Amino acid sequence: MLDGLLSAPILAFVVAVVAGLARFELRLPETLPPILSTFLLFAIGLKGGRSIGGAAPADLLGPLVAVILIGAVTPLIAFVVMRSFVRLGRADAAGVAAHYGAFSTVTFIVTVAVLEERGFTFEGLLAGLLAFDFIGIVVGLALARRTGPGSAAGGASEGLGSTLSRILRGRSIAYILSGLVIGALAGEARLAPVDPFFVGLFQGVLVLFLLEMGAIAAERLRAVAAVGPRLVGAAILLPIVNGTLGVGIGALIGLSTGGVLILAMLAASSSYIAAPAAVRIALPEADPALSITASLGITFPFNLMIGIPAFLWVATQVT
């Protein structure tokens, strides 16, 4: 576990969090984070496309079913925890559930970087499955519906179609899918000339990006006291429960150690990019402070500093 914590990207995140809490200014220039995130998402897409191009259709079935199952189950778990343990109202619980049903692309990128740094291989086709991020969001939003006409959350269902369209056409999915298509069509030999850029610079770009993410997470951590101890506890419990589910499913379908870890972290992660935009459109009555603070302020740092190294150890034991 200590090796995972000492990787350069995670150390950058931890240092930025500590510096942010101490009121040091580590935020990157405003125009830089979108460029860095574009690079990272497109590079991940290229890597996934390279693997998908050489994969048999049968190899895609197990991971595809696994991701769909995770996207359907994890928001249900989050909704039950938020209603019964945290005691949130239906709309707020559904909003949080949509965040925990979706995948964090940044957590995925860091997981890939840790695996590559430690010398683990993994099924590159898993990158393409990030496009199914919308399943958990839609399930979470559907949980906001009440039976009967005229309910407070009834309007959420009216926006599901447009919300789904926005998610699928959003930048995160678009960059990954573009990389997947290019990687699959170009193949290994034709991608070799761009490897020094997209592969060689990947870790350095990730370190810079996580400095920014650590500074943002520190800002959210300062708001933790306002959301209450029950939500804090739930934001730590959910990645443990959902990540364990991901480990079990990954081992069951025969993924490699790296593949099991990636599936575990997809399940354990919580979206703070796509989900907030979707919930804001389709479920405006949900309090965004609850979801963002839990997702970005608690679950994201927990996953990077504890979840990835812990679930990597678990993955080595079950594969």
Which 3 state secondary structure label does DSSP give 120? coil
Q: Rounded to two decimals, what is the model's pTM?
A: 0.81
Using the predicted structure, report yes or no on whether residue 154 has a pLDDT greater than 50: no
Residue 164: pLDDT band with limits 50, 70, 90? low
Which two tokens mark 229? Answer: 């101890």
The domain total for the chain is 1
Domain contains 13: yes
- Would you give the DSSP letter of residue 28? P
Tokens 């994201």 identify what position?
Answer: 300
Taking each helix axis from N to C terminus, what angle separates 274-282 and 134-142, rounded to the nearest 10 degrees? 30
Domain contains 28: no
Domain residues for the domain of 75 are 2-18+40-318
Residue among 21, 6, 11 nearest 216 (CA): 21
Using the predicted structure, report yes or no on whether residue 69 has a pLDDT greater than 90: yes
Domain contains 300: yes
Domain contains 124: yes
For 268-314, the pLDDT digits (tens) are 999 887 788 778 878 889 988 899 889 999 999 999 999 999 999 99
Residue among 314, 116, 313, 316 nearest 206 (CA): 116
Average pLDDT, the chain: 85
Domain contains 9: yes
For 193-205, the pLDDT digits (tens) are 999 999 899 889 9
Domain contains 144: yes
Domain contains 30: no
Q: How many CB atoms lie within 10 A of CB 35?
A: 14
CATH number of the domain at 243, please.
Answer: 1.20.1530.20
Domain contains 25: no
